Amino acid sequence: MTVDPEQQLLQAFVAHARSPADPAPLLQICEALVGVKRDEQMLPWAEKGLALAPHNRGFVHACARALRLLGQHAQAAQTWIDSAPLDWPPLFHEARLGRDLYLSGDTTRAIALLEQVVNAPADDHDPDKLRARKWLAEALLSTGDARGFAHWIWRNRSDSGNYRYSAVPMWDGQSDLRGERVLVTHQMGYGDQFMLFGSIAHWRAAGAEIMVTCDEPIHSVVEASLAGCRVVAARRPLDQRSPLDESTLPAVEAFAPTMQATLLHLPMLAAHVQPCPEPWFAAWIRAPQLARDQATNWAHTLRAQHPGKALIGVFWDCAQRHNRDMRSKERSWAGLRSLPLAALESLTTNAALERRVHFISLHHPVAEMMGGSPRGNIAHYAPGIMSFGDTAACIEQLDAVISVDSGVANLAVMIGKPTAVLVNPAGEWRWGAAGTRSPWMRDAYVLRQTTIGEWDDVVSRTAAWLMQSQAAAPADSIRIAND
């Protein structure tokens, strides 16, 4: 009989109350919190356990995990450093220390340590070696080093679900694709697809005919944007080497591919191009025509109501943080990426900005109701944001976008719209590790927290970006500068 996770947690609490000096119930509490997807709440229990059993590896792991979920990456790294003398399984300790060094901003040390793990004599399919490859890839890519893509592809064997159409071979690195018919299958999130599909232009330039699968919610956008490619919606694969859905097979068989590539393969072709493309991921997205027509009419009316003002889209809240059914990792990361409503209102209620700009919410109404609506100088897209096609059409009519690290930020940049991306110090590799420029995309202007969780300085710099002489100018006068 399976015990309910909440019941397990309650039993562990009771056991600890009866025997507070016994570390076993504390470890059970930590394990039960993982079971109920509240891993970020483990820290006080893990610290109590370490006080009783300082050499217990379970408490060390729980402590470091909770610190990472709370955004305290330097403290998580120090926890691994302090516990180095313990008897850890091969590669386990080094891989996780490397990850937390990278997330804390110590990228040079992280890369050196993760390279040691990747080059260790263990089997290439060792789970910790595969994890280290992912973190090494992201650390390298955050510095603009394209060698990271060769490590990133190993996610197809670890934490990223993917399709395998076994009737044709997988792309093995050839750069001459003349005469090839390539099936490109999707994986990961919307933002990843928006960015990585930008590499399809390299594959077509190499001579390939392309068929693409993508998530159904972004299908209309991808189809409108990849003229000359066949685009089909399919469910997102959750397991490695998943067979294609029966509903997708007829379209694939009609295309008759000669080879397959996954989404993770796409950026690797550019490494064969000399000089390398600049930017690596060029803007490529356009909205579906019907949505564009609606957005054009809406924008014409709104600009008449706010003459001389720039229209600035804003996206501030990652809805995953509200989903209690989601894993702690995704929920916590979404929370660390989200801008608090009060911080956003310091922009939307700023009188000086109101004289220059008019803000437009880029949230789906259901998501905005979960996170709250800001007061002040902000309106909503009148045709309604019900799909990514609507979001793309709205963004096309704006002068610039302000967004936290999200799928919408990727969408705006891949549309080619000047986009201020507000990120925390452990932000995604695509926004770079330092400075205001992404090493991979042209239209992103990156504004970073100096301390995770503190948004005031980022918001002040965002306001300054909007107030610059060439910033916040309406589309029919001066384009917002990114420099």
What is the CATH classification number for the domain harbouring 25?
1.25.40.10
Block residue for tokens 């793990």: 117
- Do 316 and 226 share a domain, yes or no? no
Residue 213 has pLDDT above 80, yes or no: yes
Q: Among residues of the chain, what percentage have pLDDT more than 90?
A: 91
CA distance 224 to 393: 11
> Given pLDDT bands bounded at 50, 70 and 90, which one contains residue 4?
confident
pLDDT of residue 230: 98
Share of the chain above pLDDT 70, in %: 96
Express each pLDDT in 152-176 by its tens digit.
Answer: 999 999 999 999 999 999 999 999 9
Q: Is residue 252 part of a domain?
A: yes
- For residue 474 the two structure tokens come to 């309406």
Same domain, 117 and 264: no
62/211 same-domain check: no
- Chain mean position to CA 424: 12
Residue 481: inside a domain, yes or no? no
**Residue 113 φ then ψ, to 5°:** -70, -45
Q: Which residues contact 218 (CB under 8 A, 6 or more apart)?
A: 190, 193, 194, 388
Tokens 């309406």 sit at which residue? Answer: 474
Calpha distance 431→448 (Å, rounded): 10
- For residue 476, pLDDT beyond 80: no
pLDDT at 478: 36
113 and 228 inside one domain: no
Give residue-wise pLDDT tens across range 34-67: 999 999 999 999 999 999 999 999 999 999 999 9
The verdict on 217 and 320 lying in the same domain is no
259 bridge partner residues: 182
**Average pLDDT of the chain, as a whole number:** 94
Domain boundary residue among 247, 272, 297? 272
**Other CB atoms closer than 10 Å to residue 482's CB: what's the count?**
17
Q: For the chain, what is the domain count?
A: 3
Query: Per-residue pLDDT tens for 431-463?
Result: 999 999 999 999 999 999 999 999 999 999 999
Q: Residues 256, 293: one domain? A: no
**Is residue 128 helix, strand or coil?**
helix
Is position 304 within any domain?
A: yes
- Is residue 188 located within the same domain as residue 87? no
Residue 408 CA to residue 41 CA, distance in Å, equals 29
pLDDT tens by residue, 350-359: 999 999 999 9
Decide if 135 is inside a domain.
Answer: yes
The answer to whether the bond into 279 is cis (omega within 30° of 0) is: yes
pLDDT value of residue 18: 96
Between the CA of residue 311 and those of 75, 283, 302, 372, 438, what are the distances in Å? 41, 20, 9, 21, 24
**d(Cα 393, Cα 391) in Å, to the nearest integer?**
5
Cβ atoms of residues 447 and 462 within 8 Å:
yes
On whether both 238 and 298 belong to a single domain, the answer is no
Q: What digits encode the pLDDT tens for the residues 391-411? A: 999 999 999 999 999 999 999
Q: Is the pLDDT of residue 483 over 80?
A: no
User: Helices in 306-433 by DSSP H: which ranges?
Assistant: 328-337, 341-348, 351-354, 365-371, 388-396, 407-415
Task: Strand 444-448: give its sheet, edge to edge.
Answer: 378-380, 357-361, 310-315, 400-404, 419-423, 444-448
pLDDT surpasses 70 at 477: no
pLDDT at 225 over 50: yes
Looking at the domain assignment, is residue 99 inside a domain? yes
What tokens does 169 get? Answer: 């071979």
Residue 205 lies in a domain: yes
Mean pLDDT calculated for residue range 84-109: 97
Give the distance from CA 331 to its chain's centroid: 12
Residue 236, domain CATH: 3.40.50
**pLDDT tens for each residue of 70-89:** 999 999 999 999 999 999 99
pLDDT band at 68 (very low <50, low <70, confident <90, very high): very high
State residue 479's pLDDT score.
42
Considering only CA atoms, which of 260, 195, 247 is closest in space to residue 222?
A: 195
Give the range of the structural domain holding residue 202, as residue numbers without chain letter: 181-272
Residue 1 confidence (pLDDT) above 80: no
Strands 400-404, 310-315: pairing kind: parallel
pLDDT tens for each residue of 289-338: 999 999 999 999 999 999 999 999 999 999 989 988 888 999 999 999 99
On whether both 240 and 298 belong to a single domain, the answer is no
Helices and strands per DSSP (H, E), number in the chain: 21, 10
* 382 in the same domain as 342: yes
| pLDDT for residue 368 is more than 80 | yes
- The 3 state secondary structure assigned to 274-327 is CCCCCCCCCCCCCCCHHHHHHHHHHHHHHHHHCCCCEEEEEECCCHHHHCCCCC
CA angle 382, 386, 390 (to 5 degrees): 65
Gap between the Cα atoms of 229 and 233, Å rounded:
13
Amino acid type, 71? G
Do 326 and 373 share a structural domain? yes
Determine the distance from the C-alpha atom of residue 156 to the mean position of all C-alpha atoms in its chain, rounded to a whole number: 17
Judge contact between 100 and 76, C-beta under 8 A.
Answer: yes
102 part of a folded domain: yes
**pLDDT tens sequence across 126-160:** 999 999 999 999 999 999 999 999 999 999 999 99
Tell me the pLDDT tens digit for each residue of 259-268: 999 999 999 9
Neighbours of 463 (CB within 10 A): 18
What's the CATH code of the domain at 405?
A: 3.40.50.2000
Query: What average pLDDT does range 113-120 have in this prediction?
Result: 98
User: Do 265 and 293 belong to one domain?
Assistant: no
Asked, for residue 475, whether it belongs to a domain, the answer is: no
> What is the predicted pLDDT for the residue at 475?
60
What is the C-alpha separation between 381 and 322, in angstroms, rounded?
23
Token pair listed for 431: 């926004």
